[in-house]
Amino acid sequence: MKHIYSLLLIFTLVCTIKSQPFTDALSASPNPFYDRTQLNYSFSYNDTVTISVMNELGQTILTLFTNSVMPAGNYQDSLILNTGPNQGIYFVSMKLGHRKNMVAKIIKTGPLALADVSADPDLRVYPNPHSGMFFVETKAGVALLGIYSALGELVYTFKEPSFSGYVDMKGFASGHYVIRYQYASTMKHIKLVKE
């Protein structure tokens, strides 16, 4: 009788583990990150899995798995980009056989040191850090594209591309931002800190 209870307990435990539902998911943490992030992914069926990292143009810059047969479950892998691509927005793509494609946006940042605004003759921002108001001074031919949050979201649009004057960010959260601009067909950015 004791053996029957033991077998029943083991059978129940195995069925509980096997029947635990997994969902199809893909995420990265921390995000934004400096040189490494943890990829968290799961899928609900045994599947052929391809995971790759693409730039904003959709070009594959790194492949983690190519058509690897994997059992259903939750997985974690470190994604280290310390010698690879520059800072910017990238996308992790997970293809599950022929049934599903999933994409997660990841943002690789640079060191948190502030740019020396006096060293950039195209665009000056001061004071930086600021408490809500700062002055933007542009050289002729500079096209201001906007201010972006640390997550890469556009949070402020300039009145005109060649704007020079005060910018009011009093209603914005404290943190790191980036002013993106273009000069002579070159995309540039300046880091901005709101205290």
Contact (CB, 8 A) for 36 and 81: yes
Is residue 141's pLDDT more than 70? yes
Lowest pLDDT segment from 18-22, 157-161, 164-168, 182-186: 18-22
Q: How many CB atoms lie within 10 A of CB 179?
A: 23
More confident residue, 10 or 139: 139
pLDDT at 84: 65
Q: pTM of this prediction?
A: 0.50
Lowest pLDDT segment from 9-23, 27-41, 172-186: 9-23
Segment 95-99 shows an average pLDDT of 90
- Which pairs with CB-CB distance under 8 Å and at least 24 residues apart come from 182-185? 182/142, 182/143, 182/145, 183/122, 183/123, 183/139, 183/141, 183/142, 183/143, 184/141
Highest mean pLDDT among 11-25, 47-61, 71-85, 108-122: 47-61
pLDDT at 20: 55
Complete domains list, the chain, with CATH = 17-108 (2.60.40.1930), 117-194 (2.60.40.3080)
165: Cβ–Cβ under 8 A, 6 or more apart, which residues? 135, 136
Segment 130-148 shows an average pLDDT of 84
Is residue 65's pLDDT more than 80? yes
Q: What is the mean pLDDT of the chain?
A: 79
Q: In the chain, what percentage of residues exceed pLDDT 90? A: 23
pLDDT at 142: 84
Classify the phi-psi angles of 122: left when phi > 0, otherwise alpha if psi is within -120 to 50, otherwise beta.
Answer: alpha
